[in-house]
Structure 1
Amino acid sequence: MIDLLFSGVAVVLLLAAGYWVRGRGGHRPTGTWAVAALLVSFALAFGSYVSYVESAVESVVPHVGRLLSNSFTLAAATAVLAFMLQLNLEPDEARRSIRLRVLFLGISVAGMTVLFAAGQLNDQSPQLYALYVLIYITYLGVTAKDFCKQTWRQSHHSRRRSQRVGLRVTAVGCLFALLYAAYKVFGLVSIGLELNLLPHGVRCSTPVSPVRCVFSVTAPALAVLLITLGLTLPAVVWPFSQFLRRRWEARSFAALAPLWKDIADAAPEVVLASAEFHEEQHGDDSDFFLHRRVIEINDGGLALHPHRSPRVRENAERAVAARGLTGTPDGDAIVEAAILRAAVNAKKAGSAPQAEAAPPAPGTASRAGDLRAETEWLLLVAHAYAQGEDAHPVTDEPAPSPSGTDPQA
C-alpha cells in the first residue's frame, strides 16, 4: 500500500510538472521553471521511497536511498522558494536571492553526502547521522517557514479567487512540512542523546501504522500533495474559468438582444457602431461585445429618461407589492421593465416628455462601472421586459374598448 501511495504521488507530480512546462499559447507564467523543478524534485523524492527502487539503488550503495530522497526534498524546497521570490521581488533581486539559495543547497547536500559517506565507514555512527539530520532539517525547516509566511501573506493580496485558495492550501501544506520537521528534530534529539525513542529499521505498513508513520510518512506526503495542489490549482482553474466567463458573456449578450433592439429602435443614436456578433468567430471578444451592449442599453435609458412615467411606475409597484416582491431585485426589475416599455412606446409615438420623470431603479449608482453587476441587473430587466411581467398598461392613457365605452364598466 505504501509503494502504491508513493508511486501514485510521483506520477501525479510528474504529470503536474508536464502541465506547467508545456507551452500555453507561447506564454509561460512567471516561475514556471521553478514550479516544474519543485514538482520533479518531489516526484524523484517520493519515487526513491518505493521499495523496488530503493532496493535497486541500495544494492549498489547501501542506505543511499535516504540521501537521495533527502537531497531531492531540499531541491524541491529551494525550487518552491525560488517560485515565491520570482513573484515577490524584482527580476534582478530575485535572481541574486535564488543564486544564494542554490549555493546554500549545494553546500548542504555536499555536507550531507560527506556525513553519509563517513557514517558508512564508521558503522552507521549515531553522532554522524545526527549531524546529517541537523543539516537536512535546518535547511528544510527554515525554507518551509519562509515559504509558509510568504504564501499566506501573498494570499491576502491576490485578486483571483483561485490564487487565494491555492496559496492558502499551499500554506497548509507547509504546516505539514513543519510538522515533519518537528518530528525530525525529535528524532535528532533522540539520536544525539542516545535515547532510542525512535527505533531504526521499522518499515511502515500503512500511512498510520505504527503511529510514528503519521509523522514520517503521512505528514510529508500530505505536505507535498497540498503544496502541489495549491500551486497548480490556479493554472488548472484559469482556462476553465475563462471558458465559463466567455459562455456567460455570449449568453448574456443574446439574452439582452430583445431589450436592446426596442431601445435602439426608439433611440437609434445610442448604437455605437454596426457589427455582427458570432460566437464562433469572436469568442475571444465576447466581453467587448457584451460591454458595448450594456453601454448602449444604459445610454438608451438616459435618452428615454424624459419619457419615464411616474404613473406607470406607481402601477407597476402596486402589481409587484401584490405579488410580495417589493424590495427584491426581481420586483425592482419588473418595475423598471414596465417604465422602459412605456418610455419606448412614448418615444416612438412622439409623445411629450413627462413633467417629472420617474427616478432611476434602485442601486443604479452602485452598479455603475461593474460589468457583471450591470449585466446581471439588465438580465433581470430584460427577462421581465420580454415576459411582460407588469400587470398594468404601458402607456399613460387607458386603451379604449372596441365599443367606445369605459373598459371598467
Structure 2
Amino acid sequence: MILDVALLALLWGATVIRIPTLWRDSRQRALWAAVCAIALAKTVSFGPIAAELAVPILPHLLGVTSAYFLLRFIALVTHTGVRARQLALLVIVLVALCGLDVLAHGIDTEADLLATEQGWAVVGYWVVLEAYLGTVLVTTSMLFWRISGEAPAGLPRAGLRVTSTGTALVAAYAAIKGSLILVHNLGTHIDFSTVEPIGRTTQTSGLILTIAGLLVPATRRARAAYEAYRSLVVLRPLWKAMRDAFPEVILFTPRRAVIELAGVDDVHLRLYRRVIEIRDGMLALRPYAAPHGPSPAEEAAAIVEALQRRAATNPLAEPGSWAPVGPAMADEVAWLSRVSRGLAGPSRTPTPSGSAR
C-alpha cells in the first residue's frame, strides 16, 4: 500500500511538473500523455478507488493507451513508424480487449481468482494485453538505453539508464504474467497467490524507476527555471524604475506578460527580455548619470540620482557611464541583480512623468 501511494504521488507529480513541456514540441506532448495515462491507470486500479468503480478492465485500457503514446514518442524520436498504423493497432487492441472481456463475462485480476480455471477468452485477453504492453516497453527500454550513451555523463545519462531499467522491469512483469496465465490454462499449476504479489511489486518498482529517471532532466530544468525566476524577482526594482521612466523599452505588452506567467513561454526568455529592457532604460538614462564608483551600491545610487535629474529635466553636460559587464548573460544577470538589490525602496525612487501605469 505504501509503495502504491508513493507511485501515485510520483506519477501525478511528474504529470504536473511536465505540463509546461506541452508547449515545447510533439515529442514532449506524447511523453506527457503517456505519463498522464499511466497515472490515471494506477489511480483507478488503486484499492479503494477500484472497489468503488468495479471496472477491472479500465486500468488495462488506460495502460494500453499509455503504451500507444510511448510508441508515438519513440516514433517521433527515431523518425520511424506511421501514425495511422500505430493508431489502428491501438484501436484493434482496445476492441479486442473489450470483446474478450465480454466473452469472458468479465476479467478477474485478483490472485485467488487467477488461480482458478480460466477459459480461453481470459487467456486470449491476457496474451493480447501483455504482448502489446511488453513489445512497446521492450522497444522503449532499448531506445532509452541506446540514447543514454549519447547523453552527457552524470545525471542525464544516469536518468536515461534508470528509465531504461524501469521499463525493462515492467516489460518483464508483462511477459512473465502473460506466460504464466497461458501455462496455467494448459494444465500446469501456478501459485498465483505467491507469484502475483511479487509481480506487482516488480511492476510498481519498475514504474517508480521509469518516472524517477524521466524526472531527472525535468528536475534540472525546474531548478534552472527556479533560479531564473528568482533573478526576475531580484531584478524587478531596477526593471520597474526603467519601465516607469521609459515605458517604450518594454518588449511585450502586459497581456503578453500574463500569458508568459502562465508558462507558455520559457522563463529564461522572460529573464533575457528583462535584462534587455533594463539595459535599454539605462542607456536612455545615461545623459543624467553622474560619474560614480565601480561598486553595485554606487551604481544603484547613481541610478536613483539620474532618475531624479530626469524628473527635473536636468541632464548633465558631461555625464558618466554605466559599468561595463559581460560577456555572458549570466554576468549581466549577476551584476544587475546586485545593482537592483542596492536600489532603495519607493521613498527614494521617484516615479517620473511618463509612467507606464
TM-score, with normalisation over the residues of structure 2? 0.58
Match of 1:97 among 82, 93, 106: 82
Match of 1:191 among 184, 190, 195: 184
Equivalent residue number for residue 287 of structure 2: none
Superposed, 1:381-400 pairs within 5 Å as: none
Contact 2:135 2:171 in 1 (8 A): no
Contact 2:37 2:62 in 1 (8 A): yes
Contact 1:170 1:229 in 2 (8 A): yes
Q: Structure 2 vs 1, CA of residues 80 and 146 (structure 1 numbering), >3 Å: closer, same or farther?
A: same
Equivalent residue number for residue 285 of structure 1: 329
Q: In the alignment, is residue 236 of structure 1 matched against residue 219 of structure 2?
A: yes
Contact 1:10 1:44 in 2 (8 A): no
Superposed, 1:142-153 pairs within 5 Å as: 142-153=135-146
Equivalent residue number for residue 226 of structure 1: 209
Contact 2:68 2:90 in 1 (8 A): yes
Superposed, 1:196-275 pairs within 5 Å as: 196-199=189-192, 202=193, 210=194, 212-215=196-199, 217-240=200-223
Q: 1:46-80 deviations in whole A, cap 9, x for unaligned?
A: 1122222111122xxxxx31x11122222222222
Q: Structure 2 vs 1, CA of residues 102 and 86 (structure 1 numbering), >3 Å: closer, same or farther?
A: same
Contact 2:40 2:62 in 1 (8 A): yes
Contact 1:169 1:226 in 2 (8 A): yes
Equivalent residue number for residue 164 of structure 1: 157
Q: 1:307-364 deviations in whole A, cap 9, x for unaligned?
A: xxxxxxxxxxxxxxxxxxxxxxxxxxxxxxxxxxxxxxxxxxxxxxxxxxxxxxxxxx
Q: Structure 2 vs 1, CA of residues 169 and 29 (structure 1 numbering), >3 Å: closer, same or farther?
A: farther
Equivalent residue number for residue 73 of structure 1: 63
Match of 1:35 among 11, 25, 31: 31
Equivalent residue number for residue 84 of structure 1: 74
Give 1 or 2 for the bigger CA radius of gyration: 1
Contact 2:118 2:185 in 1 (8 A): no
Equivalent residue number for residue 20 of structure 2: 22
What amino acid maps onto 2:20 in structure 1? R
Query: Which runs of 5 or more residues in structure 2 are unaligned?
Result: 109-116, 231-293, 295-320, 335-357
Distance 1:109 1:20 in 2: 27
Contact 1:145 1:178 in 2 (8 A): yes
Displacement of 1:190 after TM fit?
A: 2.7
Distance 1:231 1:114 in 2: 34
Contact 1:130 1:191 in 2 (8 A): no
Distance 2:84 2:213 in 1: 25
- The number of residues matched between the two structures is 238
Contact 1:20 1:35 in 2 (8 A): no
TM-score, with normalisation over the residues of structure 1? 0.51
Query: Which runs of 5 or more residues in structure 1 are unaligned?
Result: 59-63, 203-209, 248-256, 258-273, 291-409
Contact 2:71 2:136 in 1 (8 A): yes
Report the aligned-residue RMSD.
Answer: 3.6
Distance 1:237 1:132 in 2: 41
What amino acid maps onto 1:33 in structure 2? R
**Identity within the alignment, %:** 20
Distance 1:30 1:287 in 2: 34
Per mean C-alpha deviation after superposition, the further-off stretch among 145-154 and 71-80 is 71-80
Higher RCO (CA-CA < 8 Å; seq separation 6+): 2
Contact 2:166 2:208 in 1 (8 A): yes
Match of 2:134 among 141, 144, 152: 141
